[in-house]
Amino acid sequence: MTSTYPDDEVQPVKPSVFERHLQTGIQVILVLLLGWSGLKLVTLGESSAVLRERLVYQGEQIERLRRDLRDWSNVYYTKSDADREIGSLKSSVESIKSSLSGLRDRITVIEGKSNDS
């Protein structure tokens, strides 16, 4: 009987049935993990697309609100402008009051002179 392997070489060992089943199980688990990770990547891609759309929408809203604020600044006073106007009006009212009290004093002086005569 002649062997294809010389005596000093080790003959290859056939894997046992358990080992083959174990390898098949590991391969199935790896394929399932690859499939699961692929599905998760797709889900993450969809989620990032949704977030991107939300960011675009919020950016548009912010820009619209800024435009509205610019438009409103032409219509409404700012607080500092209103304070300046009120200060000016108060000083005008005070000067009118002092002028009025001066006129009243003059009238009483004139009326007193006319009563004396």
First to last CA, the chain: 167
| Cβ atoms of 85 and 77 closer than 8 Å | yes
pLDDT in tens, 10-54: 677 787 899 999 999 999 999 999 999 999 999 999 999 999 999
List the Cα angle 69/74/75 in 5-degree steps: 95
Predicted pLDDT of residue 13: 76
Return the domain boundaries, the chain. Answer: 16-76, 78-117
Q: Which residue blocks in the chain are alpha helix, DSSP H?
A: 17-75, 79-116
- Estimate to the nearest angstrom the gap between the alpha carbon of 21 and the chain centroid: 55
**How much is the pTM?**
0.43
Q: Is the dihedral of CA 50, 52, 57, 61 positive or negative?
A: positive
Cα–Cα nearest to 40, from 32, 27, 88, 110: 32
